[in-house]
Amino acid sequence: MSRLRCATAFVGVLTLALAGCGGVGGGTGSGGTGGTGALTTMGFGLPDEIATTRVDTFRRASPDVELKITEGAFDEQQFLSAVAAGNPPDLVYLDRKLIGTYARRGSLQPLTDCVQRRKVDLDQYRPAARQQVTLDGTVYGIPEFYSVRVVYLNEAVLRESGLTAADVNLADWAALPALNAKLTRVTGGKLTRIGVDPKIPEFLPMWAKANGVELLSVDGRTPHLDDPKVVEALTTGLGLIRGQGGWGRFSAFRDTFDFFGAASPLARNQIAVWPMEDWFLNVAAKNTPKAELVVKPFVDRQGQPLTMASGSAWVIPKGARNPDAACAFATTMTAVDTWVAAARARAEARRAAGLPFTGVYTGNVRADERIFAELWRPTGNPRFDEAVQTIRSVQAAAFSMPASPAGAEFDKAWYGAANRVLAGQSQPAEALARAQQEATAALDRASR
């Protein structure tokens, strides 16, 4: 008997706890600018001088704040457990594409006040980044880095096949299979060189956009996954991979690549043409300065430059105990002077090590302008200098995946479709139709 009562009482307490912790009010600002007290962060780490220099800048600017950085990448369970218990960190560092979902659920504080108080000019952030931290006109995050995609070409391989960089035209989809066939190499039944890597599924949104359609409407609510133009984009990518022996062989070969080392596929001539994030230029400059690397913009089917941008942002969860200091931290970390100081530290470190400085790409236009005006010097390697200019030139031509109330489910739907097609389980049209259904259901549910 008593056991039962005890259990009931216990569940009662629990229910109260659940309900009580469900809606936690946001902290109210006390008007200070630098902030005081303890400040806890989640999802951030201190891997390099870019991070440490900026954190030091904040410590100097706000000596009264007791900063506690819990290192490690953002983790959903960690974050949600803390939110459920009404004990969230003051600041969270996460991928910008996650902001839509959390903001829609009301777990993030609008930064309107913070931005006003700290006199932050939102125009200094790149539009593609700003779009990802804004939901229905309200800003929920301060953008950090800004990563774009460009096309890398290995001229040594091109020359071997009797081609030049000018012969590689990603606007002409009809000619891609022939180009791919010329560049691909198979030795003894094994794929030993990738010709053209479409980077599907990851870059499917960029191929679709090149074909004139976005996977998700700008308001993040209507998927366009079954659009014939998306089907065409996926079919084109699939064709390139089939031309290299199919997905199993292709991805197994690519999995053995070490893009970060001196024995990168670029150095070993294992790949000819591939779109990839801009950071690879930094890595290549460090590890393979002699490589015959050419960087071109990714282009749409009319030949216009096009790129997809992504990156992280700082957000302040509802229930944060120290939103003032959090606001000070987020805005200090992303201020122009702070970025420039961090870039200077990196430039000095690189030069001390006898390596070229290839720049830092932030979500802050003005910071980038100063970094490249004040710190960046031609390295004496025209290939890398030209590449830097190319990357800078495409940054304005960027789009990003819009903030969506069901971002994770949306991603799962189209990644799943692309993977089924690559694995040969499904045809592009059929797979994308199923993805459209799944995405529509998820978005409907999230918008209810």
Partner 1 sequence: MGTATVPAGRRPAGVVPARRRPVRPGRSPSARREARWAYLFLAPWLVGFLAFQAGPMIASAWLSLTEYDVINEPRFTGLDNYRQLTSDPQVARSLGNTVLYTLLHVPLVMVLSLGLALLLHRVGRFQGFFRTVFYLPVMTPAVAVGILFLLLLNTQDGLVNRGLALVGVDGPSWTTDPDWILPGIVLMSLWSLGSTVIIYLAALQNVPRDLYEAASIDGAGRWARFRTVTLPMISGALFFTLVVNTIASLQMFTEVYTMYFGNRETQNRFNSDAATFYVIHLFQEAFQFLHMGFASAMAWLLFVIILLITLVQMKLGNRFVYYEGDDR
Partner 2 sequence: MSGTLLRRLPYLAASTGAAVLFTLPFVWLISASLRPREYVFGTGFLPLPFAPANYAEAWSAVPLPTWLFNSVLVGVAAAAAVTISSAWVAFGFAYFRFPGRDLLFGLVLATMMLPFAVTMIPTYLIWSELRLTDTQVPLWAGNLFGSAFYIFLLRQFLLSLPREYFEAARVDGASYPQLFWKLAFPLIRPALLVAFVFEFKASWTDLLKPLIYLRNEELFTLPRGLKVVLDRFGYGGEQQWEVVLAGSVIATVPMLVLFFLAQRHFVEGIATSGRKG
Give the footprint of partner 2 on this chain (CB under 8 A): 13-14, 17-18, 21, 40, 42, 45-48, 68, 70-73, 75, 77-78, 80-82, 84-87, 89, 256, 258-264, 283
The residue within the footprint of partner 1, chosen from 155, 369, 385, 409 (CB under 8 A), is: 409
Q: How far is the CB of 237 from partner 1 (least distance, A)?
A: 14
The minimum distance between CB 406 and partner 1, in angstroms, equals 7
CA distance 88 to 108: 11
Nearer to partner 1, 130 or 254 (CB): 254
Q: Is there binding between residue 19 and partner 1 (CB under 8 A)?
A: yes
Of 310, 306, 285, the residue nearest 297 (C-alpha): 306
Q: What is the CA radius of gyration of the chain?
A: 24
Residue 126 site contact among partner 1, partner 2, none (CB < 5 to 8 Å, cut-off depends on kind): none
Report if residue 27 touches partner 1, rule: CB under 8 A: no
- As measured in angstroms, the least distance from the Cβ of 134 to partner 1 is 19
Distance CA 184, CA 270 (A): 9
Pairing of strands 91-95, 37-42: parallel
Say which residue the tokens 């069901």 belong to.
406
CA atoms within 13 A on the CB side of 336: 17
Residue 47 touches which of partner 1, partner 2, none (CB < 5 to 8 A by kind)?
Answer: partner 2
Residue 258 interacts, among partner 2, partner 1, none and using kind-specific CB cut-offs from 5 to 8 Å, with: partner 2
Alpha carbon distances (Å) from 11 to 1, 86, 221: 16, 19, 38
Task: By CB under 8 A, name the one of 163, 330, 335, 442 that touches partner 1.
Answer: 442
The binder of 48, among partner 2, partner 1, none, by C-beta within 5 to 8 A per type, is partner 2
**Facing residues of 274 across strands?**
152
* Binding at 419: pick from partner 2, partner 1, none (beta carbon under 5-8 Å per type): partner 1
Q: What whole-number distance in Å separates Cα of residue 264 and Cα of residue 257?
A: 7
Binding status of residue 249 toward partner 1 by CB under 8 A: yes
Nearest approach in angstroms of CB 204 to partner 1 is 10
Identify whether the C-beta of residue 402 lies closer than 8 Å to the C-beta of residue 96: no
Q: How far is the CB of 47 from partner 2 (least distance, A)?
A: 5
Rounded to a whole number of angstroms, the minimum distance from the CB of residue 205 to partner 1 is: 12
Q: Where are the beta strands (DSSP E) in 82-207?
A: 91-95, 134-135, 138-139, 142-143, 149-154, 185-187, 190-196
DSSP 8-state secondary structure symbol assigned to residue 401: P
- The closest of 276, 309, 277 to 401, measured between CA atoms, is 309
The Cα 334–Cα 364 span in angstroms is: 7
The neighbour count for residue 380, using CB atoms within 10 Å, is: 8
Stretch that binds partner 1, among 129-137, 140-148, 321-329, 412-420 (CB under 8 A): 412-420
Quick one: tokens of 123? 């125009």
CA distances from 226 to 17, 236, 239, 430, 439 (A): 44, 15, 19, 9, 11
Cα–Cα distance, 400 to 129 (Å, whole number): 7
- Least Cβ distance, residue 59 to partner 2 (angstroms): 17
Distance in Å, CB of 278 to partner 2, minimum: 14
From partner 2, partner 1, none, which one binds at residue 412 (CB under 5 to 8 Å depending on kind)? partner 1
CB-wise, 7 or 218, nearer to partner 1?
A: 7
- What is d(CA 140, CA 108) in angstroms, rounded to the nearest whole number? 7
**CB 86 → partner 2: shortest distance, Å?**
8
For partner 2, which is the closer residue by CB, 23 or 72? 72
Q: Applying CB under 8 A, which residues contact partner 1?
A: 3, 6-7, 10-11, 14-15, 18-19, 22-23, 73, 76-77, 80, 83-84, 95, 101-102, 105-107, 190-191, 201-202, 247-249, 251-253, 255-256, 318, 406, 408-409, 411-412, 415-416, 419-420, 422-423, 425, 442
